[in-house]
């Protein structure tokens, strides 16, 4: 099967997953348009741009499905707030990474500059926080603040180890558990808190989101090396050019010869791998099965996540969550 066919199959799978909450997801789009109006043209222009250039809304779908499974009264507005949190992190990431492209279009920082992008990211965080504050549940606000803190810690840990060829798998998992999985954890855990399910079931849903988030990031790691640029919405090999040691490269470093390790280190330090250099690093990764190891770990995490759902009664929504775990891991195949 071609990569284009795999991409179409992945999109079809996500569409199927979202069927039980399709109406609410339509409401998420409406809420994003309504909530992100400030009356300041610069803010409104950027928020319209990033919302229109929105992703697959995986995190809102996760929250809405977990709400159905847990019996929580969570609607499009809270799910929209999760997307705001995610979008804020992307705006900040693009500034940190000096990214020119996001989802196939010029990034906000490329169009409006770094200062404006950071401040609009802060605006999105404030609007998202306000929505959860209005629920009046102190435990949800605590979980939200923890998620934001862990996301920031993960991003800072990644920056601290940029271009660092000594980064190992354990450290990298700590990075993605913060920068990616923490918001997934919150999106799944918050409905359980709202429904008052108790610590055990809250933990089950939280861990489900946490493991799905890690699988999602690992699949992204693989996609950066194997996907066509039209599917990525950015240039392939971006992680390497930004000096980021993601899981495929870490596996290759652990298994490679001294000469191969030197090539990888040189590419990381240079921070601007040419197409030929990228091809050479990709061949080293392939030789040492870095992509396969990454996807295998993603699938293991997805399977573990699905086991967390056994505490909940069978339903269409529970089946959709299990499919979401598979989708998170299989996007890189």
pLDDT, residue 229, reads: 56
pLDDT, residue 244, reads: 85
d(CA 73, CA 50): 28
Q: What is the pLDDT of residues 115-125, one digit of tens each?
A: 999 999 999 99
pLDDT of 293 higher than 50: yes
Mean pLDDT, residues 14-37: 92
Q: What is the pLDDT of residues 172-184, one digit of tens each?
A: 999 999 999 999 9
> What CATH number should be reported for the domain holding residue 86?
1.10.600.10
Give residue 151's domain range: 3-330
| HEC secondary structure over the chain | CCHHHHHHHHHHHHHHHCHHHHHHHHHHHHHHHHHCCCCCHHHHHHHHHHHHCCCCCHHHHHHHHHHHHHCCCCCHHHHHHHHHHHHHHHHHHHHHHCCCEECCEECHHHHHCHHHHHHHHHHHHHHHHHHHHCCCCHHHHHHHHHHHHHHHHHHHHHHHCCCCCCCCHHHHHHHHHHHCHHHHHHHHHHHHHHHCCCHHHHHHHHHHHHHHHHHHHHHHHHHHHHCCHHHHCCCCCHHHHCCCCCHHHHHHHHHCCHHHHHHHHHHHHHCCCCHHHHHHHHHHHHHCCHHHHHHHHHHHHHHHHHHHHHHCCCCHHHHHHHHHHHHHHHCCC
pLDDT grade for 188, boundaries at 50, 70 and 90: very high
pLDDT grade for 2, boundaries at 50, 70 and 90: very low
Q: Which residue has the higher pLDDT, 271 or 302?
A: 302
pLDDT, residue 277, reads: 82
* Residue reference for tokens 């500034």: 95
Mean pLDDT, residues 6-24: 83
How many structural domains compose the chain? Answer: 1
Q: What is the pLDDT of residues 62-81, one digit of tens each?
A: 999 999 999 999 999 999 99
183-187, 191-195, 233-237, 269-273: segment of lowest average pLDDT: 233-237
High-pLDDT (> 70) share of the chain, %: 93
């Amino acid at each position: 099967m071609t990569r284009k066919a795999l991409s179409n199959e992945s999109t079809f799978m996500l569409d199927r997953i979202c069927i039980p909450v399709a109406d609410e997801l339509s409401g998420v789009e409406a809420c994003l348009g309504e909530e992100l109006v400030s009356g300041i043209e610069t803010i409104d222009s950027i928020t319209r741009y990033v919302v229109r250039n929105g992703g697959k809304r995986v995190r809102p779908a996760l929250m809405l499905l977990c709400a159905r499974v847990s019996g929580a009264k969570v609607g499009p507005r809270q799910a929209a707030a999760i997307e705001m949190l995610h979008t804020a992190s992307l705006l900040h990431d693009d500034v940190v990474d000096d990214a020119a492209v996001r989802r196939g279009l010029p990034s906000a920082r490329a169009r409006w500059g770094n200062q404006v992008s950071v401040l609009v990211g802060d605006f999105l965080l404030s609007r998202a926080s306000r929505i959860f504050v209005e629920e009046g549940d102190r435990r949800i606000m605590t979980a939200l603040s923890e998620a934001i803190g862990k996301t920031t810690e993960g991003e800072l840990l990644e920056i601290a180890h940029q271009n660092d060829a000594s980064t190992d798998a354990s450290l990298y998992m700590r990075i993605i558990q913060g920068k990616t999985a923490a918001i997934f954890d919150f999106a799944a855990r918050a409905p359980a808190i709202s429904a008052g399910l108790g610590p055990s079931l809250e933990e089950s849903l939280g861990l489900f989101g946490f493991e799905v988030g890690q699988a999602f990031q690992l699949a992204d790691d693989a996609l950066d090396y194997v996907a066509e640029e039209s599917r990525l919405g950015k240039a392939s090999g971006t992680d390497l050019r930004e000096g980021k040691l993601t899981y495929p490269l870490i596996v290759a470093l652990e298994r490679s010869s001294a000469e191969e390790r030197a090539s990888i280190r040189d590419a990381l330090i240079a921070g601007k791998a040419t197409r030929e250099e990228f091809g050479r690093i990709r061949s080293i990764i392939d030789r040492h099965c870095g992509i396969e190891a990454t996807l295998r770990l993603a699938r293991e995490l997805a399977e573990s996540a699905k086991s967390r759902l056994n505490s909940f009664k069978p339903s269409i929504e529970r089946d959709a969550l299990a499919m979401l775990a598979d989708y998170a891991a299989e996007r890189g195949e």
